[in-house]
Amino acid sequence: MGYANSAFDLLKRSGIPPYPQFYELLFTYATGVNPTLNNRINAIFRAGNTPSANLAETLYNEFLKSDVNDRMSAVSERMHARIDAVHEAIDGAMITANAYSGSLQTASGDLARDISPTAMKALADRLLAETRNMQETNASLEEKLEASRDDIASLQRDLDDVRRESLLDPLTKIANRKSFDEGMDTAIADAKITGDPLCLMIIDIDHFKNFNDSFGHQTGDQVLRLVAMTLKSNIKGKDLAARYGGEEFVAILPSTDLEGAIILAENIRKAIQAKELLKRSTNEKLGRITASFGLAAYRRGDTAGSLIERADRCLYAAKHAGRNKVFSENQLSELQSALPGVSAA
């Protein structure tokens, strides 16, 4: 808790947004477990430089950010090394066991013949020594297998962490396209079995390219994070928010009918519109952002592709109707019925 409070205090005093990666950076600094990182940050403070989100992101990328593929390779190498060690221990135990088995067979043949008391004592001593050797080998094997079990459990946790990271969008820290595709297949399979409603929401930030061109990609990235955080904070339970690509986001809404999805989308739309953007370096007001929404409900026989296609048509209709709107497939059907010549495809 002390480290956590120190990290939050540094975030507040520096005016750095409390995004997860920046908290992780300053929490690591507070613990002192990375001396190189601490030396760099201390040098920045001594030089009297004003910390900023850009500087924090640079430090995070340099010291803490790791590529998922690199981490997967490292875990794979550790797993191979541990498996090789287990094989080596088992091979050694098998050699000892085979030798012990041979000694027992030889002793059995000797005992079948009449042997002198002196030879019997020598045989017993030899078998006792080999039995002790076998016991020591088995004990060593048990220790190595126990260590391997602990290490493999640690590797499993690392693999779980890597898998979770592989399903997150690195910029917004919500689910990525891969995670969405898996979640969509699972949600449709569940809806087929249970008969519960299922809705899909597609969100597109209005005029995002113009915003990016006017204020720069870093500010555009902050807009993407803002929309992602707003979306994620408004869903709950089994709902899944994901970045679909570019400035598009999606939300899978199990056990939610179209009416409930419309209410949720309106709440998210208003929450996004209510936030005014400021450029921290100059306090310049950059205006407000808006987003358009398309909603579709699962129908018997739907695939992920067909459900996405209908939601996308609704999104196109919301854009065509002036943006900053929520459009459901019911509204699209009503519009097409009223104006037969209009197509949203």
Q: Which residues are catalytic?
A: 247
Q: Report the phi/psi class of residue 44: left, alpha or beta, with left for phi > 0 and alpha for psi in -120 to 50.
A: alpha
Strand 326-328 to 240-245 pairing? unpaired
Strand 276-279 to 248-254 pairing? unpaired
Report how many helices (DSSP H) and strands (DSSP E) the chain contains, helices first.
12, 7
Question: Please, what is the end-to-end C-alpha distance for the chain in angstroms?
Answer: 54
Give the integer Cα–Cα distance in Å for 194 and 188.
Answer: 10
Q: Is residue 331 within a helix (H) or strand (E), and if so which, with residue range?
A: helix 329-338
Q: Which of 201, 311, 195, 197 is nearest to 256 (CA)?
A: 197
Residue 33, helix vs strand vs coil? coil
